[in-house]
Amino acid sequence: MNKQDQFIDLKTEKRIDDLLQKMTIEEKFGQLTQYGPSLVGGFQVTFEELIAQLVTGRITKEEFEAQKDSFKEDLHEDKIRKGTVGSLLGTFGRDKINRVQKIAVEESRLGIPILNCVDVIHGFRTVFPIPLAESCTWEPELLEKSAAVAAKEAASEAVHLTFAPMLDIARDARWGRISEGNGEDPYLGSRIAAAKVRGYQGDDLKRGDSVLACAKHFMGYGAAEGGRDYNTVQMSMPVLRDIYLPPFKAALDAGVATVMSAFNDLNGIPCSVNRFLLSDLLRGELNFKGFVISDANSVGECIDHGVAADKKEAGALALRAGLDIDMATGSFELEGQNMLRDGLITQEEVDEAVRRVLRIKFAKGLFDNPYAKEQDVQLLPEHIALAREVSRRSIVLLKNDGCLPLSKTIQTLAVIGPYADEATDMMGAWAFTGKDKDVVTALAGIRSHVSSGTTVSYHKGCEPDGQVYDEAIEMAAGAEIIIAVVGEGSAMSGEASSMADISLSTGQQALLEKLKALGKPLVVLLQNGRPMAIPWVEANASALVEVWQLGIQGGEAVGDVLFGDYNPSGKLTVTFPHHSGQLPIYYNHPSTGRPGSVSKFTSKYMDMPLGPLFPFGYGLSYTTFAYRDLSLAKTVLAQEDRLEVSVMVKNTGDRFGEEVVQLYLRDLTASLVRPVKELKGFAKTALAPGEEKQIHFTIPVAEMGFHDQNGSYIVEPGRFKVFAGTSSADVLEADFEVVQS
């Protein structure tokens, strides 16, 4: 069911007609123009250069803080008063927004309210785990709650729209933005997409605790060649439709109000000027009724792409393709009238774009309630409690020789590593509305869980570039157990953070080897924003825990898992390789004509194992689970049938645990090569020690199809396999057949 028609209301459309008749062309182009809080002033450097100096370590945080106040923020009040800015980007503060909103509503000619748009990607003041971590919960309903908290906190600070959820499927961990998405699988990504749209938008967009959501980046951005951000994307239509489109379709069906066009070109046409994407597919096939906003300066970047000579041409191509708001090029404000004069666009096209923008502003209720009301909703206890719950459920136990969980009365613990006590890094990328002071680091969380008699020593251990501190090794030598916290800083993933080599930095690797040489149990916590190639760690650590970047309650969640207050239940939603050279690597790959690795002449590397280090769907528990009796109600199905499949799963250990039972299919023979597995169902199931349950799945045969080269969705008769198990690589299997009806 597609909820896009919720945005079509005849009374509102009539109000829009009236406005369009009154609006000048400048005011119309104003609605299609968004401005960021450009910062003017400053002395030796621009504000952007100052940030660059901070990020690259050329200045300290203190030096940055001292200088940043020399800049003043220009909120474009004059343009707003003239009605030539319809929305703002990345501007914070309820009073500030209400002030400029008052100018728009009470001083501009037609009183059209502005839209304040901010990147609330994984929490506002209550920062949740990065989206990739959250996806490892396999609990869409939980992520709907975290999105709802983010919306509530953001809306109270006059955020009307968040540029989230990010829905890019990613199969290449060199791409730093894999941290912002929901992993490599379209089925799980779709379930999470719909949940987050529901969470952000709620069941009443006009309510003061909801925000407009934005499905981004449309589309195919995660397939950037070489995992290099902003790079070209070439892909077949079947792959586009079967792998990258489903999460966007799920968001659209759930009623997402806006869509953001991506930076990349798709098969040679940049997304912001791609008529197939923005009109034929999005509005034609998928019935989208909201507005499309360009990602940042992606309209202007069409000049660098080489498809437009100047901003006038780029803006005209964008408007004709179906783009509505130009986020940061200013092409419509600067060149819109020249586009009309030169016949590059028509008045009707302008009016249609303005209509879509006004439609969403009406849907948000901004014409009737333009001002955000003060609400004391930041960091509420229930928000913090939810953050802890989501964080601990995001943790994935990758290896455990039995040393975990740790005893809370252990005598001496050494916590060593560059990310053990770094608040900013624990929050992850896109968390600039969070505050370091709210963060519980891994070290703090470990300390909060042990008894008063436990000695916890700490050292950062090394510098990422190579130096290992001897005193850290000496400190660790005195402890019973060593906990090493390694991985990536928050600025090493997210946008513009592609890495050709996704192994640990030399300093961290050297540190781990020296710690290992001490001959004590070595627990490694991986605090990172992407899969990493860590075969040495997998082979040498006593235990390996993927803790990702968990947000403000990360340390408490780490403590809950390490000391057994919570039995880890997370499962990987991205594949970990042995080596960067294996990328892209993903579970739902085609067989190729030469599968396997026994013979020399098969599709593999001579210098690397063929498979992953850790597969999609993998994650351990402090208990164990056993599967049996995968059974099908029928093994011959007509095309209108539904596959009824069940499997028994038992907790065979001595602790309560939760297991994500996964269901996959394979179409063995089809008119196109099909993946060796495709996730078609999952169920997170709680089991007491010794408890056994039968888990049931119903999969309509209609959902077993794929898109052909012409874009048609087809379900073909033939032989299939069904798999059920604890990961994509550990399953029971059975056969069935679909026959021509």
Give, to the nearest 10 degrees, the angle between helix 554-562 and helix 381-394: 50
Rounded Cα gap, residues 466 and 461, in angstroms: 10
> Active site residue: 229, 295, 425, 560, which one?
295
**Cβ distance to ligand GLC smaller for residue 90 or 711:** 90
Q: Does 216 bind ligand GLC (CB under 6 A)?
A: yes
**Cβ distance to ligand GLC smaller for residue 36 or 464:** 36
Rounded Cα gap, residues 394 and 668, in angstroms: 34
DSSP calls for 168-181: -----TTSGGGGGS
**Cβ distance to ligand GLC smaller for residue 216 or 355:** 216
Compute the least distance from the CB of residue 328 to ligand GLC, in Å: 8
Q: Which of 27, 119, 326, 389 binds ligand GLC (CB under 6 A)?
A: 119
Q: In this structure, which long-range contacts are made by residues 310-315, counting pairs with CB atoms below 8 Å and at least 24 apart in sequence?
A: 310/335, 311/335, 312/338, 312/339, 312/342, 312/344, 313/344, 314/273, 315/339
Compute the least distance from the CB of residue 230 to ligand GLC, in Å: 9
Q: How far apart are the first and last CA of the chain?
A: 25
163 within 8 A of 211, measured Cβ to Cβ: no
How much helix, strand and coil, in percent to the nearest 5, is found in the chain?
35, 20, 45
- Dig out the tokens for 559 from the structure: 């403590």
Q: In this structure, which long-range contacts are made by residues 628-636, counting pairs with CB atoms below 8 Å and at least 24 apart in sequence?
A: 628/732, 629/694, 630/722, 630/724, 630/732, 630/733, 630/734, 631/734, 632/722, 632/734, 632/736, 634/736, 635/734, 635/735, 635/736, 635/737, 636/736, 636/737, 636/739
Annotated active-site residue 295? The verdict is yes
Compute the least distance from the CB of residue 388 to ligand GLC, in Å: 27
Compute the least distance from the CB of residue 358 to ligand GLC, in Å: 22
**Cβ distance to ligand GLC smaller for residue 495 or 708:** 495
Tally of CA atoms within 13 A in the half-sphere of 173 that contains its CB: 26
Compute the least distance from the CB of residue 296 to ligand GLC, in Å: 4
Query: What is the Cα Rg of the chain in Å?
Result: 26
165 within 8 A of 254, measured Cβ to Cβ: no
How do 412-416 and 455-459 pair as beta strands?
Answer: parallel
**Cβ distance to ligand GLC smaller for residue 163 or 723:** 163
**Residue 225 per-residue DSSP state:** G
**Cβ distance to ligand GLC smaller for residue 216 or 514:** 216
Q: Does 618 bind ligand GLC (CB under 6 A)?
A: no
- Dig out the tokens for 146 from the structure: 């975290």
Between vectors from CA 289 to CA 286 and to CA 295, what angle results, nearest 5°? 85
Could you say which residues in the range 440-499 bind ligand GLC, by CB under 6 A?
495
**Cβ distance to ligand GLC smaller for residue 125 or 217:** 217
Q: Does 708 bind ligand GLC (CB under 6 A)?
A: no
**Cβ distance to ligand GLC smaller for residue 166 or 722:** 166
**Cβ distance to ligand GLC smaller for residue 118 or 661:** 118
**Residue 657 per-residue DSSP state:** E
Compute the least distance from the CB of residue 75 to ligand GLC, in Å: 17
How do 625-632 and 706-707 pair as beta strands?
Answer: unpaired
Could you say which residues in the range 155-174 bind ligand GLC, by CB under 6 A?
163
Site string for ligand GLC, 275-314 (x = CB under 6 A): --------------------xx------------------
Compute the least distance from the CB of residue 145 to ligand GLC, in Å: 23
Compute the least distance from the CB of residue 88 to ligand GLC, in Å: 11
Paired strand residues for 38: none
**Cβ distance to ligand GLC smaller for residue 260 or 645:** 260
Give, to the nearest 10 degrees, the angle between helix 311-321 and helix 331-341: 80
Site string for ligand GLC, 532-571 (x = CB under 6 A): ----------------------------------------
Compute the least distance from the CB of residue 194 to ligand GLC, in Å: 20
Rounded Cα gap, residues 684 and 693, in angstroms: 12
- Dig out the tokens for 337 from the structure: 């009238």
Give the number of other Cβ atoms within 10 Å of residue 25's Cβ: 12
The residue type of 518 is L
Count Cβ neighbours within 10 Å for each residue of 147-167 and write b for 16 or more, e otherwise. Answer: bbbbbbbbbbbbbbbbbbbbb
Q: Please state the three-class secondary structure of 686-740 as a single string.
A: EECCCCEEEEEEEEEHHHCCEECCCCCEECCCEEEEEEEEEECCEEEEEEEEEEC
Query: What DSSP element (H or E) covers 522?
Result: strand 522-527
**Cβ distance to ligand GLC smaller for residue 119 or 659:** 119
Rounded Cα gap, residues 250 and 143, in angstroms: 15
Residue nearest to ligand GLC (CB): 163
Number of residues that bind ligand GLC (CB under 6 A): 7
Rounded Cα gap, residues 258 and 278, in angstroms: 12
Could you say which residues in the range 62-101 bind ligand GLC, by CB under 6 A?
90
Rounded Cα gap, residues 330 and 87, in angstroms: 12
**Cβ distance to ligand GLC smaller for residue 114 or 473:** 114
Give the residue numbers marked as catalytic: 295
Q: Which residues bind ligand GLC (CB under 6 A)?
A: 90, 119, 163, 216, 295-296, 495
